[in-house]
Every structure is written in C-alpha cells, then in structure tokens.
C-alpha cells in the first residue's frame, strides 16, 4: 500500500491507532479493508489488551477472555468475526450445553445451572424452581426483548436505542425483585454478575441483558487462550496492508496550526504522522495525554467524574499433571445468596464474598485440566500504597517484599474459600500466581485497574456514555469505555467508531450484509 508523504518526506498514515486491544484491532481491520493506510501502536511486549495470555510452568493463562458468547453461525459475534475474517480459523471448544455456567452458594450444596439456548435455559431453571415457571419465562422474554432494541447488537440497522425506562433506568436487582419473591431464584438469575461488575443500586437492566444474552445463545472457550484471536487479528490486518508495532508507547500528541493532531511521539523517540487518530486507551488517560486544554472544561470534568467499575484480584493455579478433572463450565460462587449484588462491599474479614472460577483448555486436552483461574473483586485502595510502581514485561519493576507478602496472604485466603467448593483443590496445586488491580492497570491501561471500563448507572443512564467523536476534529475513541465492554461490546464499539470515519449507512449495510462461507 502506498503512503502519502508530508513536506519533510515522512510517511503519513490515513489512520494511526493507539493501543492494540480488540477495539483497536477491529477498527484497524475494518478501515484497512476499506483501503485506508492504518498503523497500530502498542506499548507492551504483547498485542491484544485483554486478549493477552501469559505462560507459567509451561501453562497458558488468559488474562481476560475466559469464555466467549454468540459464536454460532447466524449469531451476533459470529457475524462480526466473520466480517473481519477471523471466525473460520478461530480454535474453539464449546462449553456444556446443559450447564455452561454454574451458580453455587456456601449454604446450599445444590448446583444451579445456566443452560445453553433459551429453551434449555428455561427447562433447567424450571427443574430447580417448578413453582417459578412464569417468572423464569417473563425474565427470558424481557432479556431478549431488550437486546432486540439495540440494532448493532441484534444485527439490524437503526439508531442507538435509549427509549426504554425498564432498560436504562431500572436497576437489574429491582427488576428481579419485581418479577419474583423467591430470593434464591433471583440470586441464580443474577449470579453471573461478575461478567459486568454488577452493583445492586446502579447497574441497569440493559447491561445485564446485553452481557448474558450472547452466552445463553452459545458459549465457547478459545483453545490455547485468547491470544489465538490476537494472532488471527494481526494476520488479517497485515493482509490488508496495515502495520503494527509493539514497544511503542505513545507519550505525546503534536498539533498543527489548524488544531488537529499531526503526529504521536513514542517513548522510543519515534514519531508517527497521520490524518486521523483513534485512541483505544482509557479516555481519562487520553485527555491528559492530548492536553485537557484542547477540550471544553465541562467535558473534561464530566469524563474525570465518571465512575469506573471495580478492579479484580485474580488467582492463577498451575495444576499437577492429571490431578484435577477439566471442568467444561464456569463456576460463580457466593457466600450468601442474599448478597450477590453486594460482594463489592466486602470487609477485610469477609473477603472474598464471591468469585468466578474458570479453566483453560489446550489442544492436547486429555480430560484433566492443567490450570485454573479464579477472579474476585478488589478495591484499588488496597494496593494504592504501591501505585507509584509500574511493572510489565517491557518495563520490569519490583514492587517489593511487602507487596509480595500482601499477594501471598490474599492468595491463601482465596484458596481457603475455593476449598469449600472443591475440597481437594490444594493437593492438586503445583504453583500459585496472582494479579492485582495494579497488574490490570499496567498491562491493560485501565483506570485504577477497572475490570470493565466505565460503570453504567441507572440513576444517570447517559452520563457514562461517550461519543467516539471528540472535539479534536481528527481524534476518535474506541474500546470498552465506549458503548459496552466484553468481546462483543468492544467489537460493536469499534464498528460505531469506524462509522464516524466511513459513511455510516454504507459501512453498517456492508457489515450486516456480509456473507462468507460458513464454518465446515
């Protein structure tokens, strides 16, 4: 692909994208397919943002992609992945149809199943709650109804939907209380709220609906981890002439006389020129890097005040060979079924009040698992004393002995909780690794280690919604803080961003009508 040159003979890209998370990649591929010259810059040693994996004791761990929904032919994410041409080669393993997510509680030995497909989902819940059939059917119908009102989510053309008070202004907890008095059923229906860091007072119904619907439709794991997706994204980007560079941390934006961004400068001293720029990094961080004076004060103030979701603490267990059966499902466990929405409000004594547990699968799978990941909530304040340290593969920094001791104490407490559900787990552990909110801050670039970008608030339904278009004429946002988080949410966010650059009607029509040979 030929590149334009500026007056100094420097290459000028049509689009420079800062950050190689999924939003940056999808934006890059869409624009490159349209013939634009695209460059993606990544600060880390590994591309992919939350798609990153890491290896310990020859075992692959995911950092963010534990499972993916909506990947059956005809479903929403399948359609988008088909368009960017990664669906065909994505190595996937389908989770259990009759229970891909399992909800459990300390005070109840029963395992409550979320089954795949709405008919199956309803059937499984009616078996456990026969007297609640009407509430279960009402719930499922409402989830599907809300999802159908979001055009790009439901693969339709149309404007973004903001008209249903039930979706935007009604907290999910209140909705569940409205449809049933059965506290255990409410806990089971809301039990996967770690998928969106659900808050009992704030999280709107639509966030819940959009997050869980695609998993109910179909749920898969990536064989050998989410970085398999990254490899395909890199391959497709290069196929269309796009360029991508790692170890290129952007530290400055330069402007021309018209008030537009002319280039970005990196820590290595390189400069990349472009006509348009897309930031796939945290908007709060982007504003500071670009220069807050470039934006109106009320806008800067609003962005700064948007609340981020809580951060995670993750436990990564390397398992002894052939010691622990592979679980083709995920577990969501809570100490108290009455506190599934309040697990964020833990005390030091009660932590962790709930967790999500998942297993990776490799291509040489033999019926046993080689790793297990458990994730729970952790407030950034707990690690704030070490916030001046920065540690990644590209920039090594030892946070010190007290930090290591802190992680070890938390890991031990977490394992004690997991033992209640899996009594033999300790004897299966070969090695323990952990990550804290600081790990997510440093590797993913999320504000205070936030799990899912900006929190949505039913009391202020549009407050945290940011347009991908900014007041700097050639700067755009994409990623999990625009629109929705998650693999599907971020993919749609990228489409929305690109629709600001390419003719919207043309682009969306092209994507929605794209056809390719189905997987064999």
Q: Is the pTM above the cut of 0.75?
A: yes
Q: Report the alpha-carbon angle 515-518-520, nearest 5.
A: 165
The total domain count for the chain is 3
Indicate if 233 and 144 belong to the same structural domain: no
Tell me if residue 229 falls in helix, strand or coil: helix
Q: Are residues 170 and 244 in the same domain?
A: no
Check whether residue 86 and residue 227 sit in a common domain. Answer: yes
**Residue after which a domain boundary falls, among 407, 431, 451:** 451
Across 426-450, average pLDDT: 91
Q: Which residue has the higher pLDDT, 65 or 266?
A: 266
Exposure string for 339-376, b = 16+ CB within 10 A, e = fewer: bbbbbbebeeeebbbbbbbbbbbbeeeeeebbbbbbbb
| pLDDT above 90: residue 221 | yes
pLDDT > 50? residue 517: no
* 4 within some domain: no
pLDDT of residue 520: 32
H helical segments located in 76-204: 76-83, 118-128, 133-147, 165-168, 172-179, 183-189
Residues 116 and 214 in one domain: yes
Asked if 228 and 85 sit in the same domain, the reply is: yes
* Higher-scoring residue by pLDDT: 514, 261: 261
| Least-confidence region, from 11-20, 121-130, 165-174, 496-505 | 165-174
Task: Assess whether pLDDT exceeds 60 at residue 324.
Answer: yes
Q: Find all residues with CB under 8 Å of 106, minimum gap 6, and list them.
A: 333, 334, 335, 336, 420
**Do 173 and 207 belong together in one domain?**
yes
- The 10s digit of each residue's pLDDT in 493-509 is 999 999 999 998 899 88
Half-sphere exposure of 148 (CA within 13 A, CB side): 6
> Mean pLDDT, to the nearest integer, of 417-431?
96
Half-sphere exposure of 122 (CA within 13 A, CB side): 12
Q: How confident is the model at residue 519 (pLDDT cuts 50, 70, 90)?
A: very low
Confidence of residue 171 (pLDDT cuts 50, 70, 90): very high
Nearest one of 67, 69, 91, 70 to 79, comparing CA atoms: 70
Q: If pLDDT is split at 50, 70 and 90, which confidence band does 165 have?
A: low
Q: What is the pLDDT of residue 161?
A: 55
Q: Which domain holds residue 423?
A: 310-451
Q: Examine the fold and report which residue of 198, 220, 242 is the final residue of a domain before the chain moves on.
A: 220
Q: Is 316 contained in some domain?
A: yes
CATH number at residue 227: 3.50.50.60
The pLDDT score that the predictor gives to residue 388 is 87
Q: Helix or strand or coil: residue 368?
A: strand
**Spatial CB neighbours of 492, under 8 Å, sequence gap ≥ 6:** 80, 152, 153, 483, 484
Any domain includes 250:
yes
Q: Is residue 361, in this structure, part of any structural domain at all? A: yes
Q: Are residues 409 and 324 in the same domain?
A: yes
Question: Pick from 515, 489, 502, 500: which is nearest to 23 by CA?
Answer: 489
Residue 23 lies in a domain: yes
327 in a structural domain:
yes
b/e 380-415 (16+ beta carbons within 10 angstroms → b): bebbeebeeeebeebeeeebeeebeebbeebbeebb
pLDDT for 299: 94
The stretch 395-401 carries a mean pLDDT of: 76
**423 within domain boundaries:** yes
Q: Are residues 80 and 227 in the same domain?
A: yes
| pLDDT at 57 exceeding the cut of 50 | yes
Name residue 247's beta-bridge partners: none
> Would 7 be classed as within a structural domain?
no
**One domain, residues 230 and 215:** no
Q: Has residue 208 got a pLDDT over 90?
A: yes
pLDDT above 90: percentage of residues in the chain: 78
Given 220, 244, 271, the domain boundary residue is 220
pLDDT band at 160 (very low <50, low <70, confident <90, very high): low
Instruction: Let me know whether 204 and 144 are in one domain.
Output: yes
Residues 395 and 498 in one domain: no
Contact 78, 515 (CB under 8 A): no
Mean predicted confidence (pLDDT) in 243-262: 95
Least confident of 27-41, 347-361, 403-417, 502-516: 502-516
Which range has highest mean pLDDT (121-125, 440-444, 514-518)? 121-125
Same domain as 123, residue 242: no
Q: Is the pLDDT of residue 452 over 80?
A: yes
Residue 108 has pLDDT above 50, yes or no: yes
pLDDT at 516: 45
- Mean pLDDT score of the chain: 92
Query: What is residue 81's predicted lDDT score, i.e. its pLDDT?
Result: 96
Query: Can you give the pLDDT at residue 389?
Result: 86
What is the per-residue pLDDT for 390? 79
- Given a cut of 80, whether residue 396 has pLDDT beyond it is no
């Amino acid at each position: 692909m030929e590149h334009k040159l500026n007056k100094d003979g420097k290459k000028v890209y049509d689009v420079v994208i800062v950050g190689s998370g999924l939003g940056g990649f999808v934006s890059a591929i869409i624009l490159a397919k349209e013939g634009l010259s695209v460059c993606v810059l990544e600060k880390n040693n590994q591309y992919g943002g939350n798609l990153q994996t890491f290896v310990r004791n020859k075992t692959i761990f995911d950092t963010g992609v534990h499972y993916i929904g909506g990947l059956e032919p005809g479903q929403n994410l399948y359609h988008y992945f088909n368009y960017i041409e990664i669906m065909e080669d994505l190595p996937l393993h389908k989770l259990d149809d009759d229970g891909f997510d399992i909800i459990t509680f300390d005070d109840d030995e029963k395992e409550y199943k979320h089954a795949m497909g709405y008919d199956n989902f309803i059937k499984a819940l009616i078996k456990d709650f026969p007297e609640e059939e009407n509430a279960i059917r009402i719930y499922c119908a409402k989830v599907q109804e809300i999802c159908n009102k979001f055009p790009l989510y439901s693969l339709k053309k149309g404007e973004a939907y903001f008209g249903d008070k039930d979706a935007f202004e009604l907290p999910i907890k209140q909705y569940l209380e409205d449809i049933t008095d059965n506290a255990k059923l409410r806990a089971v229906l809301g039990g996967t709220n770690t998928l969106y860091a659900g808050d009992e007072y704030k999280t709107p119904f639509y966030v819940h609906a959009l997050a869980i619907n695609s998993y109910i439709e179909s749920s898969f794991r990536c064989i050998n981890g989410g970085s398999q997706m990254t490899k395909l994204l890199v391959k497709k980007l290069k196929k269309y002439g796009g360029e991508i560079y790692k170890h290129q941390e952007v530290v400055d934006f330069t402007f021309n006389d018209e008030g537009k961004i002319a280039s970005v400068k990196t820590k290595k001293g390189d400069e990349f020129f472009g006509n348009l720029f897309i930031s796939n990094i945290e908007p709060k961080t982007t504003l500071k890097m670009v220069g807050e004076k470039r934006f109106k004060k009320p806008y800067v103030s609003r962005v700064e005040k948007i609340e981020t979701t809580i951060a995670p603490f993750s436990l990564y267990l390397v398992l002894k060979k052939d010691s622990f059966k592979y679980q083709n499902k995920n577990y969501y466990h809570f100490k108290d079924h009455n506190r599934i929405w309040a697990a964020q409000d833990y005390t030091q004594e009660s932590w962790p009040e709930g967790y999500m547990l998942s297993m990776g699968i490799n291509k040489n799978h033999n019926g046993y698992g080689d790793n297990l990941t458990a994730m729970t909530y952790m407030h950034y304040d707990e690690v704030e004393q070490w916030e001046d340290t920065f540690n990644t593969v590209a920039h090594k920094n030892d946070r010190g002995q007290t930090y290591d001791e802190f992680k070890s104490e938390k890991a031990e407490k977490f394992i004690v909780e997991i033992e209640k559900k899996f009594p033999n787990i300790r004897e299966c552990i070969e090695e323990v690794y952990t990550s804290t909110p600081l790990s997510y801050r440093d590797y993913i670039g999320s504000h205070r280690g936030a799990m899912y970008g900006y929190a949505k608030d039913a009391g202020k339904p549009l407050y945290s919604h940011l347009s991908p278009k900014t007041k700097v004429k050639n700067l755009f946002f994409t990623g999990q803080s625009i629109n929705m988080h998650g693999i599907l949410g971020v993919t749609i966010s990228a489409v929305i961003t690109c629709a600001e650059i390419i003719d919207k009607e043309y682009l969306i029509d092209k994507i929605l009508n794209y056809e390719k040979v189905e997987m064999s």
